[in-house]
Structure formats: structure tokens, C-alpha cells
Amino acid sequence: MTTTLDKITNQEAAFKNMTNIKDGKAILSPEHLGQFLAYAALDNIMLAGSKPELMNAPEKNLNRAGIVGRVLTNGYDDDGNTRELGETEKKSLSFGANTLIARKLKACAKIQDEDIEDNITGGEGLVQFLLSEMGRAIGEDLSLYTAFGDSDLTKSQDPLLCISDGWFKKAAHQLEVGTDFDMGGANQVERLFNTAIKKLSPRFRKRDKLVFYVPFEVEDAYRELLASRQTGLGDATQIGFAELKYKQISIKNPNALDDPEVRELIASGKMMLTDPKNLAWGIRKNMSIEPERKAGLERTDYWFRVRGDMDMYFREGAVTTTIPLDILEESLIADGGDISPIETIPTVPVFVKDSSDNPIDGAKAVLKNSDNVTRQVTVGVDGKGVLNSVVAGDWTATVTATGYETLIEPVTINDDTEISFTLTAE
């Protein structure tokens, strides 16, 4: 029979196998550190997309090199002779670096002996529990810390976020709704996206690499907007949850951006436009996990000590947009204009005839509105057909049939509309 003492002894042996003792501390082995970081980033979109950096020292430079501006110029003088470039025409290779500075972070997991007996099998079971469950939990906190860190906060306001400045604060381009641009009227969601794109430095506008990190309300409002346009894309985003994009730029909703405690603290929502690989977060290789046996309480406390920091390779390659809560949680949805409910007519009867009122078999009617939404129908032998799910309002109809002149005319759709088209023989 395996006793609790035996289980604890087995767990101690397994714990020793996943750590190396250095300077009196149990340092996580490289293999298990890799597993821990994988669990930390698993459910956190911004961490998973960014670039993790293992730090061998308390500080690490995020080195970058590049040439800004044009380098090619005319190699001939006015007489057509080869000329030497002037000093102002010669471009220097620009080196720069932002620095990760490891900040000490702590966590403690208390595991009762009876929980070990009931839920954890063997020493390796404890190892995987510590790596997976604490990895996920610490990852959730790291996602908040890396995104919302703000050294202007006090320890009493938030003991974690006050340690260092996060990605949102370090972005070189800062926008605030109501201060830098207005959100009134229709197309609010698209205005958010367009303003950020225009603010981003041109050299970083590589649409296939960029991502909008947005709160749930922004993502959901954009889905509603696409659905209201009655296109295949709108249907896919509602029913199939197809990947969202705006002007070829991916749109993602990290859970961290919806954290209620952070929202209450900063009284706003945040969104960011950047290349995920521009975001960096560093963890010291000497991450430690140490058990502290509390025999009298019949439990073991496991102490996690992590040193980490976050920054960007190019701060000018990111745009942060701050959205006041009253707009994010109320106006964006209630007064968005483009995302407010749209009246849709389920069926609109269509009749196509010639000048003698005879039905025209096979005539095709195509309707298009100002949003480039189209509806079309091909009528039968009786000249009749039905347009489905048509938004009320003004449309332009184009009607064609073999042997007849093409008809183009405006139509207005409402609840009781029945459309009749008369074609002229060629």
C-alpha cells in the first residue's frame, strides 16, 4: 500500500529531476522551462504570437539594424559623367536596441496532501501538474503584465502592473478616441481601424504581417457589420467564425483585453496594431521552483520565481488606441450606425415582361446597392422570380434577356414592394 509519505517522497524525487541546484536554488531544467513557457503562451494570443527571449543575464538588448529612407540616386552629373555621391546622399546603417530588464515576479501554489492522494498520480504527475496548471495561470498574469504594465500605477493600485511599462504604453504612436479623432456617426468600427492604419509609420504597413489586437466589443461589432452587409463573408463570420480581416489585416481578440479588473483600473479599453513578431517578452533562464513543506498543515507550498520584462523591437511599429468605456461598452454597439439593426425584406417578387405584357422566360435581374451588395434572380417561363433577404432602401437594377435591350433603372425596396420590369426587343 502506498502511503502519503511514499507519494511525497516520490514527488520530491521527480521534483529533483526537473530542476538543477544553483546558488542554493532549484532552477528549472531547460527542457521543463520550455514546457512551462509553452503552457504559459498556450491560451494567450498576444504572448503566443510574440517573440519570447530567453535571458542569460539580468538585461538583454533587442538589437535591430536598418537603413531608413532612399538609398538609390542618380549616378551621373549634368554632363553625363559618373559622379561621386555627396555626404548627405550616403546612408548610414542605423543600429539601435531596446532593452529587456528582468523584473522579479513571484507566485506560490499550495497543494494539500489530500489533493495529492485524490487527484495526482506519482511524482511525474505532480511535475506535469506544476508545469501545466501553474504555467497556464502564470501565463494569464504575464499576458496582463506584458500588455498593460504601467510604471505610473502604484503598488496599491496593482502590485503586478506597476512594475514596468507594457506594450500598450511603450508603443510610439498613441491615439485616444474623443481626443485624437471622433467616433460619431456611422462606420465607427472601420474608423477605429482606418485611423490606426494611417497613424502607423509607412515602413511598417505590411498588411500580411500586421494584426489588430482588439477587445471583444470591437471584434463583435465588426462581425455584426459584415453580417449586416449580407455577403458570403458576413455569413461566414457569423456562422463559421471565419478569420476576421480588415483590408487584409488580421483581427484577433486576446482574453487579456477583456479583463474586467484592468478595465476598471484604467477606465478604458485598448487596441493595438502591430506585427506580432515586433513584440518581445523575456524570461531569465534561471527560473526557480522550490517546495516548502508545511507538515503541520499537511501541505506543500511550491514557490515560483520568475524574472521577466517586455518591450518591442521597433516601438514606432505599433499603434495603441485607447477607447473610453462609455464608447466601448455602450455607444459602439448602441449608436454605431453601421452596426445598428437593418430592415431586411424576406422576399421580393419580380416580374419581367415585354412591351406586350408577355412574360420573358430566362430573364435575369441583378440588384446592387451603395454598399456593393448584390441580389439576383433568373425568372421562369411565367416571367416570375423572387429575390431573397433584400435590405430595404435604394437599389440599381440591371435586367438582361436574349433578344432584348439591357434595362438599367433605380428601384426602391420596402415591405410591400413587387418589382415589374418591361424590356424592349432589340
Of residues 188, 207, 187, 189, the one with CA closest to residue 197:
207
Q: Residue 102's CB: how many other CB atoms inside 10 A?
A: 18
- Per-residue confidence band for 109, with pLDDT thresholds at 50, 70 and 90: confident
State which amino acid sits at residue 232.
Answer: G
Residue 26 pLDDT exceeds 80: no
Tell me the three state secondary structure of residue 234: helix
State which amino acid sits at residue 170.
Answer: K
Pairing type for strands 299-312 and 103-112 reads antiparallel
Element (H, E) at 367: strand 364-368
pLDDT of residue 2: 47
pLDDT digits (tens, 9 = 90+) for 32-46: 777 777 777 777 888
Q: Which residues pair with 64 in a beta bridge?
A: 96
Kindly state the DSSP code that residue 229 receives in the 8-state scheme: T
What is the C-alpha end-to-end distance of the chain, expressed in Å? 98
pLDDT of residue 24: 53
Please name the residue ranges forming H helices in 255-324. 260-266
pLDDT digits (tens, 9 = 90+) for 251-299: 999 999 999 999 999 999 999 999 999 998 887 767 777 778 888 888 8
Residues of the chain above pLDDT 70, percent: 74
**pLDDT (mean) for 210-231:** 84
State which amino acid sits at residue 262.
Answer: V
pTM, to two decimals: 0.66
Determine phi and psi for 115, rounding to 5 degrees: -70, -35
Element (H, E) at 321: strand 318-324
Question: What is the rounded distance in angstroms from the CA atom of residue 4 to the CA atom of residue 10?
Answer: 10
Half-sphere exposure of 138 (CA within 13 A, CB side): 25
Kindly state the DSSP code that residue 248 receives in the 8-state scheme: T
Question: What is the rounded distance in angstroms from the CA atom of residue 36 to the CA atom of residue 136?
Answer: 8
Element (H, E) at 14: helix 4-17
All 3 cell numbers of residue 217? 466589443
User: Which of these ranges, 175-179, 210-214, 287-291, has the smallest mean pLDDT?
Assistant: 287-291
pLDDT digits (tens, 9 = 90+) for 290-308: 778 888 888 888 787 778 7
